[in-house]
């Protein structure tokens, strides 16, 4: 787990994969890898449109394909069952859109890295006290860099990841405000390029994000 924590601190970027067909996952992930991405989050489907088992199978396929080259985790994790499925599939970290004590506890028990989401100072500190390794500030653009900077004053012991609406235009603002890194989905995975099978364009965009993020730390 410590290796994952250090890698997140070093890479500062987790790419969020949501709603991508199973057959597109490995080509997409390879395109991301070619652009320098080393951390990929595959999200569970909260509305049940994709079963938890299928999502876990997708995570497992990526884990087997990449080995240690890329670290695969799960996103939109809302239940202990999803934590168990992720652990069995070989996923390394658990990311949630909320702070759920049971999910955090199950994550830590499974030896995985815990990244729950929070919005307020109370939620941020609670997540930290429950054992979160990072706290995902979500949706961060609804709060803005000034909010992040203000929260970092009294809560500078909690490493924060900025997620939700982050793109090339505001990465620097959030880095200056004190976040440890970013989770980025639709702004880095161009759905039009994906639909067209233009993986070279996806790699190029990924490389721009990776280069920009690394230049901020």
Would residue 163 count as lying in a domain? yes
- Is 155 within the bounds of a domain? yes
Determine, yes or no, domain membership for 169.
yes
| Residue 117: per-residue pLDDT | 98
| Residue 217 is assigned to a structural domain of this protein | no
Calpha distance 206→211 (Å, rounded) = 9
- pLDDT tens string 142-187: 999 999 999 999 999 999 999 999 999 999 999 999 999 999 999 9
Q: How many domains, in total, are found in the chain?
A: 1
What is the distance in angstroms between the CA of the first residue and the CA of the last residue of the chain?
22
Q: Is 6 designated active site?
A: no
Domain encompassing residue 13: 2-212
Q: Exactly one of 41, 80, 109, 125 is catalytic; name it.
A: 41
In this predicted structure, what is the pLDDT of residue 53?
98
Asked whether residue 63 is assigned to any structural domain, the reply reads yes
Tell me the C-alpha distance between 119 and 179, whole Å.
Answer: 14
The residue-averaged pLDDT of 10-34 equals 96
Per the domain annotation, does 187 fall within a domain? yes
Question: Is position 136 annotated as part of the catalytic site?
Answer: yes
DSSP SS3 for 101:
helix
- Look at residue 138 and tell me if it is in a domain: yes
Looking at the predicted structure, is the pLDDT value of residue 30 above 90?
A: yes
> pLDDT value at position 1?
58
- Model confidence, pTM: 0.97
pLDDT at 2: 62
In a domain, 66, yes or no: yes
Q: Are 205 and 190 in contact (CB under 8 A)?
A: yes
Interatomic CA distance for residues 25 and 210, integer angstroms: 20
Q: Which of 136, 149, 204, 214 is catalytic?
A: 136
């Amino acid at each position: 787990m410590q290796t994952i924590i250090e890698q997140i601190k070093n890479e500062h970027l987790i790419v969020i994969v949501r709603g991508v067909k199973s057959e597109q996952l490995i080509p997409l992930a390879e395109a991301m890898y070619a652009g320098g991405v080393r951390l990929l989050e595959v999200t569970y489907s909260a509305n049940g449109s994709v079963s938890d088992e299928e999502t876990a199978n997708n995570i497992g396929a990526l884990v087997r394909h990449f080995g240690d080259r890329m670290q695969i985790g799960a996103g939109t994790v809302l239940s202990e069952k999803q934590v168990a499925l992720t652990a069995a599939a070989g996923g390394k970290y658990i990311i949630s859109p909320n702070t759920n004590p049971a999910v955090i506890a199950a994550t830590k028990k499974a030896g995985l890295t815990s990244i729950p989401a929070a919005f307020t100072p109370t939620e941020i500190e609670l997540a930290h006290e429950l054992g979160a390794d990072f706290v995902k500030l979500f949706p961060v653009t609804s709060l803005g860099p000034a909010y992040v900077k203000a929260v970092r004053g009294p809560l500078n012991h909690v490493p924060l990841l900025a997620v939700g609406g982050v793109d090339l235009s505001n990465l620097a603002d959030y880095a200056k405000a004190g976040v440890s890194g970013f989770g980025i989905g639709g702004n880095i995975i161009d759905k039009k390029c994906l639909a067209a099978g233009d993986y070279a364009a996806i790699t190029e965009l990924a490389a721009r994000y990776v280069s920009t993020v690394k230049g901020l730390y």
